């Protein structure tokens, strides 16, 4: 079994640009019920084995979700994101629970948290 988070987005184009161009995810698929329209769209993106689905379909969640990605090197991600002018919301910061974390927000206010133990 595998759990795949689904985040609500308002614009498939804006989400694809943010996740793929800025955060380095790969677009795995994009399904549109009407190929002449950019939205609604249900898409899948992945990076380093992490899968995430994004939906601009009405009723597929609400914006403001949170996804935590376990990663090997928060500092390297931070440097990569800064080089791409990604706005950093929090961090990198050592949390009181022992995890070093970095937070960014997508254009819809969904929080993406990248963390490493220790």
Label residue 118 by pLDDT band (50, 70, 90): low
Strands 50-55 and 6-8: parallel
pLDDT of residue 117: 81
Report the pLDDT averaged over residues 61-86.
Answer: 94
Would you state the structure tokens that stand for residue 54, as one six-digit string? 């994004």
Q: What is the DSSP letter of 40?
A: S
Domains, the chain, in order of start with CATH, read 6-117 (3.10.180.10)
Which pLDDT tens digit goes with each residue over 15-45?
999 999 999 999 999 999 999 999 999 999 9
> Residue 91's pLDDT band (boundaries 50, 70, 90)?
confident
């Amino acid at each position: 079994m595998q759990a795949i988070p689904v985040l609500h987005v308002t614009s498939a184009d804006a989400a694809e640009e943010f996740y793929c161009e800025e955060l380095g995810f790969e677009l795995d698929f994009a399904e549109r019920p009407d190929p002449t329209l950019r939205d609604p769209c249900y898409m899948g993106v992945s990076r380093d084995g992490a899968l995430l689905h994004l939906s601009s379909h009405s009723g597929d969640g609400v914006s403001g979700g949170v996804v935590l990605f376990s990663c090997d090197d928060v500092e390297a991600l931070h440097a990569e994101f800064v080089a791409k002018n990604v706005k950093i919301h929090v961090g990198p910061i050592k949390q009181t629970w022992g995890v070093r974390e970095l937070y960014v927000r997508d254009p819809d206010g969904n929080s993406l948290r990248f963390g490493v133990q220790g």
